[in-house]
Structure 1
Amino acid sequence: MTDPIEPSTSTSDPNSNSTPTPTILLHPRREPFEHGLLPIQKLIFTDPVQALTQLKEKLSSSFALRVGSAALADALQISSDHARLILDTLSSVLHSESDPLVTARPEDVDSIGADLRDLVLFLYIQSYKRLLPRSHKDSAAVADVWPSTSAFDGYLSALSPLQLVRSNTRRFMPSQADEEAHQLSYLQKHLANILSLLSEHVEGEGKESMVLTIEGFEHLGFLIHFGDKGSEGVPLSQAAPFFANSDPDMPAVPVLASQVHDWLLEIIAASLEHVSEKNSAKESGSPSSSDQDIAMSDASPSSAKASQSARSSFFIEGVSKSSYVKQASDLKNSSVKVINCHDSVIYVLAPLRYATIYGCSDATIVLGAVGKAVRVEHCERVHVILASKRVCIVNCRECIFFLGVNQRPLIVGDNHKLQVSDPQASSFVNATRI
């Protein structure tokens, strides 16, 4: 999918109260929503704006703009292990590679801490509910072997590997376009709250008292980006008419948060419409070279399929009773998803940033160096061999993990008979369980 940046057709003054015409499409960053959610009950707030505003005021008064795990544990009344888990998870989904938390050595994480604005956004989206797969007509057949109730964010009621292999299709799984629309709708609903957490108070009444600086606006990059290349695309401040062409040596004038809100709402609405049109074209069977979920090619002599685009994940799905190999020269993506693969051996021997293994059974899966995070979910009798900064294991059964990881594995949900070890030390890995 390509969204070329078109010249603006708006003749309005960007500093006026009129809403500029959107010129580019907005995309949610997938990483926080796919790899940044933690099932810690104390991170789900009844009134997130009030709770996080108070948290922001408390932490900013004592710890400037960076927060370590000790201060976070005290402010949220959580354990030091959970506070450190928050910082480690946040570092794996941050949008800025230059942030000190991203480059920090494990022993320095607590002293360096997280940027308070990124931390607040991270805590806010913990209330996000992932888009669930549609139910399967044969669900009763697997009720005795797979959990039907959720121990993690309502997501354990998803298809089991047995259901997936019987359906032999991804039609029950949300497409990337479906997930993007779901995430855009979430941002649309919560945008006012998100902007209020990034805004600063000035003299004035009502909406006139809340302004957004260019620095605060840039932190929206944790959740959104313009264009298809993510961090390599259009910088947020340069895409916004309020801050475009700002002099780096001259601080840009803060903008009313209400003005930013109206401008972003218009762009989100246009982006949702674009995704809807793509889905409509897909359902009607109209070919589209830009549709990341349509372009498919045979991956092996089996029923496997693979899909690829510059911005989306590379999908490896439906590999059955065969071997499958992908090397660095075969991949343009920084993210891979292995879905619905059974009784097979999968090799992804390429440097990646993120990887997801979902709904696989009786398979061996080998992943090359994954720089950020790996998520293994809803798998049965799978051997996983990987090197990664961090790994999250969710709702798996009778799986064996040989891990080379920088951080303790996170084991979440309803898991049974797992073996997790360090292949170098041949010993059990000390994991964090929630």
Structure 2
Amino acid sequence: MTDCTEPSTPSTSSTLYIHPRREPFEHGLIPIPKLIFTDGVQTLGPLKDKLIQRSTQSPNRRVDLLAVSEILQISPDHARLVIDTLSTVLDTNSDPLVAAELSEVDSVDVDVCDLVLFLYIQSYKRLLPRTHKDSASVADVWPSTSAFDGYLSALSPLQFVRSNSRRFIPSQADEEAHQLSYLQKHLANILSLLADSVEEEGEGEGEESLVLTMEKLDHLEFLIYFGEKGSERIPLSLATPFFANTDPDMPAAPVPATQVLDWLLQNITSTLENISERVSAKENGLPSVSDQDVPMGDSCGSLMKASATARGPCFIEGISKSSYLKQASDLHGSSVKVVNCHDSVIYILAPLRYATIYGCSDATIVLGAVGKAVRVEHCERVHVITAAKRICIANCRECAFFLGVNQRPLIVGDNHKLQVAPYNTFYSHLEEHMNQVGIQATINRWDDPVPLGVVDPHDSLSHPAGVSDVQAECATCLDPDQFTNFLIPNWFEGESSGSTKDNPFPLPDAYMSSQRRNNNNLGEIKQNLRETQLEDSRKRELASALHVYFKDWLYASGNIRQLYCLQGD
């Protein structure tokens, strides 16, 4: 039985716990060495002052792309990447940067506070997967050699995830605790970057102290929030005791930063203790109401499980040698993680905000419309088909990406033999889903990837020393003669119909010409077969030969996976 579970960390009481926002840590890290400041405020403090000096003189100080490029001493292309990425992980649609059309992003200024927080967390290092103790089970699941084995050895995520055991993959609770611990360690520095200096009155004249206004505190919502299962997130300034009863017509008095720091650290400690208690209870086999699963059905009739929660992505995990479908009505959230899936075809035909594909092999994964970001990491021989605002590909081998993307694909880390191609499929509700999440079919940057260095400084599984400046291997464009349309079965025809009748992304001329040529060749072959006069014995030999070649093609191309949903349980 396959399992689609959604790990969550809700409280077991009415207490509201503080939580890190996953999106900046999962989709907002850019491996550009000049942006990674490990000395806290020593470098970022002066940079913030320079940004403020260049900012517009408005209540919310903002800077343009040129200022970001010059002050951070990065190229205009990298400055554009910073602003694009920041807009992807901001949590508010009211910010002009988030609301801007793609053609307007270069001309929209970025908020200095948001930018400084974004730059600060570039020092975050992802959680190290747990060591696998059973090498025999790993070998059984993944017998072939891997390009990653030379430097990752037994620590390769390709081996962790292929253990078919959740015990060796960081759970959502593990990741949340890791992110909270990082914030706990750095919160004093982060608040000092947001705070304003004021001169103290009294005996110590000339001394300055740091205070936080309600507006500055709300910027912390980029990193943390209050809210629990099934509830709306509470604005940070309302969750704190400092500004909760503020008169909206009267400006709230600033609060000493030390008081805010103490209060936030208390809340982080309480959340970490709560996570530890629940993880311990689960490991001891104690039931938890929040972890109960709700059965759901997939396209092939197998029983799936998913827990409905307002927080955390839906996990689709451990699918092997099967076909799997999820539609919008099946998902209880706007984020999906596809983990540890092999030799399968997975359809997620829904409007999403974020999607992650991790540790999969020999699979075809179709993502509907992803309005914020897709991340594909540590995968081998996987075909990914997606319409998305942006995609980041990290540490993958022999994968093909059929893309309808509005921003340039980002190629990060140590990749081998990647191919990119134009988007090649559709389903009836595709254009409706694209409109919901803001993807434009008239803009497709599939063939303009941005390669960064082979070392991802955010990855705990780092490479050996000496390769930090090596240029990453970029993706090549798929030969137009090898381009084919991917057919998505219409399982629910009659139940729900959409307006999409064809691929909404226009094909480049070379791919369109190849497609027409292939169709013409197929028509000629069919005509020749119909007109050929053969004896019955010869017809049987021809049919047998065609059957053999077709079977070989199914396996060689990976299209055999699409037949799994026709198999009985």
The AA in structure 2 aligned to 1:38 is I
Q: How far 1:310 sits from its partner (Å)?
A: 2.0
Question: Secondary structure at the residue paired with 2:185?
Answer: helix
Please state how far the C-alpha of 1:298 moved relative to its aligned partner. Answer: 7.6
Distance in 2 between residues matched to 1:113 and 1:4, nearest whole Å: 42
Deviations 1:36-67 (A, max 9, x none): 11111111124230211111111111223112
Range moving further from structure 2, 74-83 or 216-225: 74-83
What corresponds to 1:324 in structure 2?
Answer: 324
Distance 1:283 1:239 in 2: 32
Asked if the contact 2:313/2:335 (under 8 Å) is kept, the reply is yes
* 1:101-112 matches, cutoff 5 A: 101-112=97-108
Q: Which residue matches 1:80?
A: 76
Q: Secondary structure at the match of 2:148?
A: coil
Looking at structure 1, the residues matched to 327 and 250 of structure 2 have their Cα atoms a distance apart, in angstroms, of: 47
Residue identity matched to 1:159: P
Residues 5 and 269 (structure 1 numbering): CA distance in 2 closer, same or farther, change over 3 Å?
same
Report the CA distance between 1:156 and its aligned residue.
Answer: 11
Deviation at 1:210, TM superposition (A): 0.2
Identify the residue that residue 59 of structure 1 maps to in structure 2: 51
Q: 1:159 aligns with which of 137, 157, 161?
A: 157
Give the Cα–Cα distance (whole angstroms) in 2 for the partners of residues 82 and 244 of structure 1.
Answer: 40
Q: 1:60 to 1:4 in 2, by over 3 A?
A: farther
- Give the corresponding residue for 1:416: 416
Q: Which residue is equivalent to 1:184? A: 180
One-letter amino acid matched to 2:72:
L
| Deviation by residue 1:324-369 (Cα, 9 ceiling, x = unmatched) | 0001111111110000111111011111111100111111111111
Q: Helix, strand or coil: the match of 1:285?
A: coil
Q: What secondary structure is seen at the aligned counterpart in 2 of 1:232?
A: coil
Q: Which residue, out of 11, 31, 34, partners 1:39?
A: 31
* 1:193 equivalenced with 2:189 (yes/no): yes
Counterparts of 1:29-428 in structure 2, within 5 Å, are 29-64=21-56, 65-137=61-133, 138=135, 145-148=146-149, 157-160=155-158, 164-165=161-162, 167-204=163-200, 209-228=209-228, 232-291=232-291, 295=293, 306-423=306-423
* 1:163 to 1:186, Cα distance in 2 relative to 1, 3 A: closer
Cα distance in 2, alignment partners of residues 61 and 230 from structure 1: 43
User: Contact 2:346–2:365 at 8 Å: present in 1 too?
Assistant: yes
**Letter in structure 2 aligned against 1:145:** S
Q: For 2:328 and 2:302, locate their aligned partners in 1 and report how far apart those are by CA, in whole Å.
A: 22
State, as a whole percentage, how many aligned pairs show the same letter: 64
CA distance in 2 between counterparts of 1:415 and 1:156 reads 19
> Among residues 16, 20, 23, which one is paired with 1:24 in the alignment?
16
Distance 1:87 1:149, change over 3 A: farther
Alpha-carbon distance in structure 2 between the residues aligned to 1:416 and 1:170: 27
Q: TM-score, normalised by structure 2?
A: 0.68
Q: CA deviation at 1:25?
A: 1.0
- State the 1:422 CA deviation: 2.1
After TM superposition, give the deviation of residue 249 of structure 1 in Å. Answer: 2.0
CA distance in 1, matches of 2:36, 2:153: 16
RMSD, matched Cα: 2.8
1-side partners of 2:260 and 2:156: how far apart?
38
Helix, strand or coil for the counterpart of 1:401? Answer: strand
Cα 1:208–1:289 shift into 2, 3 Å: farther
Q: Which has the larger radius of gyration?
A: 2
| Pairwise CA distance, 1:287 | 0.7
Asked if the contact 2:231/2:310 (under 8 Å) is kept, the reply is no
Structure 1 unaligned spans of 5+: 7-22
Q: Following the alignment from structure 1 to structure 2, what is the Cα–Cα distance between the partners of residues 90 and 363?
A: 31
Contact 1:304 1:319 survives alignment (8 Å): no
When residues 234 and 149 of structure 1 are mapped into structure 2, their CA distance, relative to the original with a 3 A threshold, is farther
- How much does 1:171 deviate? 1.6
The one-letter code sitting in structure 1 at the alignment partner of 2:214 is: I
Distance 2:392 2:30 in 1: 10
Contact 2:129 2:160 in 1 (8 A): no
Q: What TM-score results when the alignment is normalised by the length of structure 1? A: 0.88
Q: The residue matched to 2:356 in structure 1 has which SS?
A: strand
Is residue 325–residue 346 contact of structure 1 (8 Å, CA) maintained in 2? yes
Distance 1:258 1:89 in 2: 31
Q: What whole-Å deviation, never above 9, does each CA across 1:181-224 have from its counterpart, x for those lacking one?
A: 11111111111001001000110269961000000000000000
Distance apart, 1:101 and its partner CA:
0.6
